Structure 1
Amino acid sequence: MSRSTSIRRVAAVAVAGLLAATALAAGSSTAAPPPDAAVPTAGWQAGTPPLSTPWTAQVSPSNALPEYPRPQLTRPQWQNLNGLWEFAAAATGEAPPIGKTLAEKVLVPYPIESALSGVQRHEDRMWYRRTFTVPDNWKQKRLLLHFGAVDYDAKVWVNGRQVATHRGGYDGFDVDVTSVLHKSGPQELIVWAEDLTDETFQPIGKQREVSDHGIFYQGSSGIWRTVWMEPVATSSIDRLQLTPDLPTSSLRLTADTSGPAGLSVEATAYDGQRVVGTVRGKADTELRLPIRNPKLWSPDSPFLYDLKVKLIDRGKTVDQVGSYAGMRSVGKVKGADGKLRMALNGKILFNLATLDQGFWPDGLNTAPTDAALKFDLEQDKALGFNTVRKHIKVEPDRWYYHADKLGLMVWQDMPATKPDPIPAPWQAQFKAELHELVDEHKSFTSITTWVPFNEGWGEWDLAETGRIADSVKQQDPSRLVNAHSGMNCCDSLGDSGRGDIIDHHAYLGPATPSPAGDRVSVDGEHGGFGLKVPDHMWFGDGFAYEMTPDSATLTRRYVENQRDVLRSANSCGISGSVYTQITDVEGELNGFYTYDRQVPKMDFAQVRAVNESIIRGADGTGTSGPTPPPGTPGIDGIHFYPLDGTAEDAVGNNDGTLVGGATFGPGKNGQALVLNGSGQFVDTGAQLLDTAGSYSASAWVKLNKADGSFQTVVSQDGDRDSAFFLQYSGADQRFAMSFTGLRALSPTKPNPGQWYHLTGVRDAAKGELKLYVDGELVATKAACSLDSTSTGHTLIGRAKFGGNSVDYLDGSADQVHLFDRALTDTEVKDLYTSGR
């Protein structure tokens, strides 16, 4: 037995130790037999979900996800064990209910909290029980039980003997139960599951035991993917590892097997009925299956080759499976503007994606039917997207099969733990589940990018984050690795410098990071425009990053935002973007569809048109960076507010107005503006800086406090957010020159009661944001800004974020200068030294 490194097979007892040709159409294998008659159907009734999808009423005990669940390794003989099982809550240390009838019924594989399960409540621990019979013509073979996923800790008994334990809510496991089967008659199967959700640091994605009515959702416990069984020979193929290699026109193929070593494998590739390549060699070693002049897989032409793989022992075929693969490459290419971009098959292709949470109002973690599972992907394609970011969740294999067939690239996230740093006892488990995720899914053509971390949730050490990204790249060099999506956001520890991608989040955005070194840049999340649709909301209400009053406005705001994505692609060099999101989810109302998939919320023709324009034009061809004018010379700038008892503009003609009772007091140089942090500021009455070009802002500032609150010294209003913020960042407890989602930070925390000289510089030509403290350059950030529409007033002592006035200064400001150019290091030093 050569495949021993995977955590998928977990049989805990010794097991003892051919099939006809498998259909080449991997997604259309023989339908499963009906549920075993030994399980009674009385005593079960589906619950009533807050919202019903078009597929809710189609689900019943006789047809619970009957499709063949493993499209990349098919055999004609199998039996589906979905359907009604007995169910009961369990207690810690309780003995398994061997030979006992459980009081309740549950419809497997729907999680117990879902309406479709018929239980519709959470239990920390639970029992499942049913019986099954083994077909007579399987008796001379080994019997494997397959569990698609059980959340989170599982134990399995067959005929009173424990045969398996497994930890992990998103990966499958297999159990060889041959040695514990009765010779005939019913076989008893019992499963114990424990799911403590957010009480531990198990990977849970967006699940919470109780939904927060916000960005976290109702959890899903217990069995939530198909349970099934199949007969296999003593020697059999466990898994196929498939990696296209375009430079050699071949498919790298490894057949992982169980049984005696030294067997051979023969693999054949088909284009329809035509053989296009064959290879024969040792099992459990990498072979190269030649495919001359391969048809390349892409979103425009998602061609897949069918495969037939035989396991051969001394000239006899002892196992045969069907599969498929696409020929494509994933990489990075420099565009005409010199910026590095994501590429498919050696050509730049903008990855235009939606965020896909994978939740359902009737089945929660589990789509009600296979048609429903496919629906969201079909809508992505119809709306003109070519990529999906599978957001901190892992789907059943058939989801990736549908993506393969439809032609959608997939960024696959690792399910996050709760946002707190993962403690030492759980770190190894997180890494084990991450690598198992890659191992189980690395043969799907559609997956192009692995994402270990999202917004720093669970991240415990920045250097370790880099090492984890490196380990994933080593495990799968054929794809890109996005070490942490949203490295600029939330709980992120920052940029580890590892992986292939610089990924920023910005709501409403889009984000505007630029490629650097050997890493491309992407907008990992943006958008989030919302619309309320009465009678189609999970809680009867909800939220979005920006609510709109009607479909027309929602569509307009989406189109405007996506046009900015195109600008970010051509000006800043992003080569991918992720719009939030394909459907509403519980309290989030920012989908293209309502959560029940019943109501489209935008004009989809306009959506598709703007999306197609991005994919067509987002390659940087013919673009160049801005060439800002030289600006006005002089140390005073274009506006100067000495704040020496008045808000007079000593250089320009825009005297300020004191708002909210702002006063004057002792300053760094004479008097200074004194603000109390609650509604007080100075309004200059005009837009004083052209934020489309280069500019600088300078001021002396003294804080009354330096805690977790943001305080802004100088800013300029935009439509929703300030175009820039010269500020104290409460999140970092540092001074900063900031754009929304991007901060150039001072290295140390300021002391309350001490005067500091701050200068923030925006150099549009270099695409940089700089912060100086007391005349010294302390931080430089690569920054490409799209904000050329800032027409709001320039302000001293407050900012604007999310359309609201925020971040009022609690302290004093003095000697405010505004410049229509990027100051040099020497000029900033001279300004500081002058005391002005």
Structure 2
Amino acid sequence: MSIPRPEHPKMQFYRPDWVNLNGEWSYEFDFGKSGIERGLQNSTGFAGKITVPFCPESPLSGVGHTDFIESMFYQRALEIPAAWNGRRILLHFGAVDYTAVIYLDGVEVGRHSGGSISFTIDLTRHVEAGKSYNLVVHVLDDQRSFVQPFGKQCPQFQSCGCSYTRVTGIWQTVWLEAAGIQGLKKCRIVPEFDQGAFGFLPEYFEERPGNTLTVRILAEGREVAVETVPASAWGPFSVTVPEPRAWSPEDPFLYTIVFEVKNASGELLDRVESYGGLRKIHVEGDRLFLNNKPLFLRMVLDQGYYPDGVWTAPSDEALVRDIELSMAAGFNSARLHQKVFEERFHYHADRMGYLTWGESACWGLGWTRSQWYTQDRYTGVFNFLREWRETVERDANHPSIIAWTPLNETERPVDLDFYRGVMTEVYDLTRQVDPTRPVNDTSGYQHVKTDLWTVHLYRKDAAELKEALTPAGGGVWHTSPDHEVPYAGQPYLNDEFGGFMYIPPERAKFAANTWGYHGLDLKSPEELCAKIAEQVDYMLTVPNLSGYCYTQLTDVEQEQNGLYNYDRTAKVPEGMLKAIFGKSPEWAK
């Protein structure tokens, strides 16, 4: 049987010695949460079969169980290649929702909480090359606790409103990798656009006196720069690139970057391949600048849901196709919404020149919205801050990501002082981990400390949009004037609008509760495009507007307000959308 999603998950940090663990695993649901008492961590095989990396709720998993799953177990054999003797053995999980406890032969070897982000278990001291082990993963996912972020996963049994099918357990690729014992653990790559250089901040598994790190930078296969430095714990350094070539949407040029760790005798200990794009994103007054040129963002909202895989794309080609569909519609960028997208998506965005905003799956946290309020708000804050830090650290090297949006629509917080304190910490943490990108503290509502002023203005026509977007007294729209901080001149963006529902005549409603914004019953592609065009054309005339984000790229289950159907087929004849979304204001051309 062929391996699903066989491609390497992490092209930003590639070693050739790796084994993809996707495919058939055995599983058992643990609805009574008694599995540990019953010794399921020792199992050598369950009766159920599931296809990893697809969640059990998805058709592609072969299971299709869509009710709540608060506990379940996975199992498979794990063989360590004999050729990996003397190497560091790493077990990687692209993502597991929500808590994963990892067992080898019944012994716990690691655990991780955070349903959206990747993690690694170092197996070196637990395994020997050439031997086989029994791998069991215990998953815990208490979504209705409202202390763990779940994004657009529905907290009710049936999908409704803006919430869709749930995701439990393993939903991204699992793989095994061999690294050097004293090898490179990770390395931050910072484009220093104005200096024509890349900055590096490496971290190692172990250090030894005399070890060195050599960085080789290649352009189209030709080495253009090389630097060797001591492999030490605190060793930030820069490497200048001769005749630097910028990364941009028009020319998404990527330099190949090769890291080599050697010992004092010159023996190669570890080798990692990566890449980088030389670009700069910054704010000047109320404008965004890319590579020191003013930037107008024509964004689309992308939620990353798939009919057959839910949060998991059925194939690598499906990730590429979503970017192609967006660009074909005239967009230059996307808000990746209420989901931490897998690294393969960012890799394709990097090489295709597709700008994105990185976001968390923050919905579900009781401290952010009154309808999910829980007294245990401190656990929710802790869980969010930990996972968000891991997200920014993992994805900071991708040149296509140009802004961070930690939270979305943090509406009606119960304790305003508490909320403001947490939001200030969220902003400061994000800027501390990555000072190179602007931070949109919360998309649309309740701004506290932010580099971008974003609003959500769903209006049924251009006249209503104008009234809200450009208030008669001047200034910008405030969702909650009594709760938000004053506007301080940041770039102004309408980062959610539209949402018009049009269902082609050959299509049926997804469900009885299918909906779109405004309650309009549009009958043709021409009606849909006319409604959108009047709002887009108006926004291009607003002098202080730095961009917009249309809701949304595709239908998602009962929310049938996408520009494409849920299966990615067209609703509108080719070219009609690009004629609307492909335009920028004169100042940004």
- Give secondary structure in 2 for the equivalent of 1:400: helix
Which residue does 1:222 correspond to in 2? 169
Shift of 1:551: 1.4
- Distance in 1 (CA, whole Å) between partners of 2:83 and 2:441 is 49
- Give secondary structure in 2 for the equivalent of 1:461: helix
Shift of 1:413: 1.1
- Distance in 1 (CA, whole Å) between partners of 2:262 and 2:489 is 44
- Distance in 2 (CA, whole Å) between partners of 1:410 and 1:245 is 20
Shift of 1:213: 2.3
What per-residue deviation string (whole Å, max 9, x for no partner) do you get for residues 621-648 of structure 1? 9xxxxxxxxxxxxxxxxxxxxxxxxxxx
Deviates more, 1:478-487 or 1:193-202: 193-202
Distance change >3 Å, CA 223–CA 457, structure 1 → 2:
farther
Shift of 1:567: 2.2
1:177 maps onto 2:123 in alignment: yes
| 4+ aligned runs moved over 6 Å, structure 1 | none
Deviates more, 1:293-302 or 1:88-97: 88-97
Shift of 1:83: 0.2
What per-residue deviation string (whole Å, max 9, x for no partner) do you get for residues 652-706 of structure 1? xxxxxxxxxxxxxxxxxxxxxxxxxxxxxxxxxxxxxxxxxxxxxxxxxxxxxxx
Note the residue ranges of structure 1 that are not aligned, 5 or more in a row: 1-60, 335-339, 488-493, 622-836
Which residue does 2:278 correspond to in 1? 327
Asked if structure 1 preserves the Cα contact closer than 8 Å seen for 2:320 and 2:348, the reply is yes
1:495 maps onto 2:465 in alignment: no
Asked if structure 2 preserves the Cα contact closer than 8 Å seen for 1:359 and 1:366, the reply is yes
- Distance in 2 (CA, whole Å) between partners of 1:536 and 1:227 is 37
Shift of 1:63: 2.8
Asked if structure 1 preserves the Cα contact closer than 8 Å seen for 2:148 and 2:365, the reply is no
RMSD: 2.0
Asked if structure 2 preserves the Cα contact closer than 8 Å seen for 1:354 and 1:380, the reply is yes
Which residue does 1:302 correspond to in 2? 252
Q: Which amino acid aligns with 1:425?
A: T
Which residue does 2:573 correspond to in 1? 603
Shift of 1:182: 5.4
Q: Which amino acid aligns with 2:454?
A: D
Deviates more, 1:555-564 or 1:143-152: 555-564
User: What is the TM-score normalised by the length of structure 2?
Assistant: 0.88
The one of 212, 231, 241 equivalent to 1:291 is: 241
The one of 547, 560, 578 equivalent to 2:534 is: 560
1:102 maps onto 2:102 in alignment: no
- Distance in 1 (CA, whole Å) between partners of 2:104 and 2:412 is 36
Which residue does 1:505 correspond to in 2? 456
Distance change >3 Å, CA 458–CA 172, structure 1 → 2:
farther
Asked if structure 2 preserves the Cα contact closer than 8 Å seen for 1:351 and 1:387, the reply is yes
User: What is the TM-score normalised by the length of structure 1?
Assistant: 0.63
What per-residue deviation string (whole Å, max 9, x for no partner) do you get for residues 59-88 of structure 1? xx5231000111001111111000000010
Which residue does 1:549 correspond to in 2? 523
Q: Which amino acid aligns with 1:66?
A: P
Q: Which amino acid aligns with 1:449?
A: A
Deviates more, 1:195-204 or 1:294-303: 195-204
Which residue does 1:443 correspond to in 2? 397
- Give secondary structure in 1 for the equivalent of 2:288: strand
Distance change >3 Å, CA 184–CA 302, structure 1 → 2:
closer
- Distance in 1 (CA, whole Å) between partners of 2:215 and 2:158 is 48
Higher relative contact order (CA 8 A, sep 6+): 2
Asked if structure 2 preserves the Cα contact closer than 8 Å seen for 1:111 and 1:363, the reply is yes
1:528 maps onto 2:531 in alignment: no
Which residue does 2:484 correspond to in 1? none
Which residue does 2:406 correspond to in 1? 452
- Distance in 1 (CA, whole Å) between partners of 2:381 and 2:160 is 29
What per-residue deviation string (whole Å, max 9, x for no partner) do you get for residues 418-439 of structure 1? 2642512221121111111111
Q: Which amino acid aligns with 2:529?
A: T
- Give secondary structure in 2 for the equivalent of 1:179: helix
Which residue does 1:160 correspond to in 2? 106
- Distance in 1 (CA, whole Å) between partners of 2:57 and 2:571 is 28
Which residue does 1:42 correspond to in 2? none
- Distance in 1 (CA, whole Å) between partners of 2:245 and 2:130 is 50
The one of 431, 455, 462 equivalent to 1:473 is: 431
Distance change >3 Å, CA 512–CA 441, structure 1 → 2:
same
The one of 278, 300, 303 equivalent to 2:226 is: 278
- Give secondary structure in 1 for the equivalent of 2:469: coil
Asked if structure 1 preserves the Cα contact closer than 8 Å seen for 2:80 and 2:128, the reply is no
Asked if structure 2 preserves the Cα contact closer than 8 Å seen for 1:213 and 1:539, the reply is no
Which residue does 1:87 correspond to in 2? 27
- Distance in 1 (CA, whole Å) between partners of 2:530 and 2:318 is 28
Q: Which residues in structure 2 correspond to 1:227-376 (within 5 Å)? A: 227-262=174-209, 263-283=211-231, 284=233, 285-314=235-264, 315-333=266-284, 340-376=286-322
Which structure dedicates a bigger proportion of its chain to strand? 1
Shift of 1:458: 9.1
Q: Which residues in structure 2 correspond to 1:56-205 (within 5 Å)? A: 62-90=2-30, 91-93=32-34, 94=36, 95-121=39-65, 122=67, 123-181=69-127, 184-205=130-151
Shift of 1:271: 0.8
1:591 maps onto 2:547 in alignment: no
- Distance in 2 (CA, whole Å) between partners of 1:363 and 1:327 is 34
- Give secondary structure in 1 for the equivalent of 2:28: strand
Q: Which amino acid aligns with 2:5?
A: L
Which structure dedicates a bigger proportion of its chain to helix? 2
Distance change >3 Å, CA 552–CA 441, structure 1 → 2:
same
- Distance in 1 (CA, whole Å) between partners of 2:162 and 2:64 is 21
What per-residue deviation string (whole Å, max 9, x for no partner) do you get for residues 243-286 of structure 1? 10122211011222102244321111111122222222133421
Deviates more, 1:236-245 or 1:79-88: 236-245
- Distance in 2 (CA, whole Å) between partners of 1:444 and 1:481 is 16
Distance change >3 Å, CA 97–CA 475, structure 1 → 2:
closer
Shift of 1:96: 2.9
- Distance in 1 (CA, whole Å) between partners of 2:84 and 2:23 is 22
Q: Which amino acid aligns with 1:107?
A: T
Asked if structure 2 preserves the Cα contact closer than 8 Å seen for 1:254 and 1:287, the reply is yes
- Distance in 2 (CA, whole Å) between partners of 1:424 and 1:476 is 24
Shift of 1:179: 2.5
What per-residue deviation string (whole Å, max 9, x for no partner) do you get for residues 419-475 of structure 1? 642512221121111111111111111111011121115965124313321221122
- Distance in 2 (CA, whole Å) between partners of 1:329 and 1:198 is 41
Shift of 1:602: 2.1
Query: Identity over the aligned pairs, expressed in percent?
Result: 31
How many residues get paired? 543
Asked if structure 2 preserves the Cα contact closer than 8 Å seen for 1:197 and 1:219, the reply is no
1:617 maps onto 2:586 in alignment: yes
Q: Which residues in structure 2 correspond to 1:687-706 (within 5 Å)? A: none
Distance change >3 Å, CA 183–CA 474, structure 1 → 2:
closer
Q: Which amino acid aligns with 2:263?
A: D
Shift of 1:610: 2.6
1:482 maps onto 2:437 in alignment: no
Q: Which amino acid aligns with 1:453?
A: L
Q: Which amino acid aligns with 2:420?
A: L
Shift of 1:185: 4.3
Deviates more, 1:289-298 or 1:605-614: 605-614
Shift of 1:239: 1.5
Distance change >3 Å, CA 182–CA 293, structure 1 → 2:
closer
- Distance in 2 (CA, whole Å) between partners of 1:499 and 1:252 is 26
Q: Which amino acid aligns with 2:391?
A: L
Shift of 1:377: 1.0
- Distance in 2 (CA, whole Å) between partners of 1:281 and 1:272 is 24
What per-residue deviation string (whole Å, max 9, x for no partner) do you get for residues 313-335 of structure 1? 1122210111100001001235x
Asked if structure 2 preserves the Cα contact closer than 8 Å seen for 1:211 and 1:219, the reply is no
- Distance in 2 (CA, whole Å) between partners of 1:346 and 1:220 is 41
- Give secondary structure in 2 for the equivalent of 1:481: coil
- Distance in 2 (CA, whole Å) between partners of 1:186 and 1:295 is 48
- Distance in 1 (CA, whole Å) between partners of 2:400 and 2:355 is 5
- Distance in 2 (CA, whole Å) between partners of 1:461 and 1:311 is 45
Shift of 1:388: 0.8
- Distance in 2 (CA, whole Å) between partners of 1:332 and 1:181 is 50
Q: Which amino acid aligns with 2:160?
A: H
